[in-house]
Amino acid sequence: MEELAPENNLEILHNPWFGYQDDHGLGYAQPDYLLRIPGRIYIFECKLTQNLQAVAQLKGLYAPLVNQYYKQPIVLIQIFKYINNMNELSFITELKEAKPNGRVYTIHWLG
């Protein structure tokens, strides 16, 4: 996938590090993947089993950091193999279905 990035005007970052400082002191965050396309950034958090930790990381940590750094609209996506709870999941099959609206979209990966 990384080979396609230059010719398609996109960038894929695997496990990028972000440093920050808050009331608790200096901290670091590392989302699983960022996909940068013109005018939008997708943040992916991958877990074996769906859990609320992925949603909390995406909304409460990664989105604010990435938004502050890149200053572009952010799309949040969790990817997992095993479903734990079907409530409030926004399943998508293609990235173009996901919008930068603060919702965490879901890709159920069966591979």
Residue 69: which H helix or E strand, with range? helix 63-70
Q: Is the pLDDT of residue 15 over 50?
A: yes
pLDDT at 92: 92
Q: Which residue carries 């440093």 as its tokens?
A: 19
> E-strand spans in 1-111?
11-14, 18-22, 25-29, 33-37, 40-49, 74-82, 90-91, 104-108
Residue 75 · residue 103 · CB < 8 Å: no
Q: What is the pTM of this model?
A: 0.88
- CA dist 53 and 46 (Å) reads 11
Q: What angle do CA 81, 84, 90 make, to 5 degrees?
A: 75
Q: Where do the domains of the chain lie, and which CATH numbers do they carry?
A: 2-108 (3.40.1350.10)
Q: How would residue 100 be classed by pLDDT, with cut points 50, 70 and 90?
A: very high
In tens, the pLDDT along 47-91 reads 999 888 899 999 999 999 999 999 999 999 999 999 887 666 789
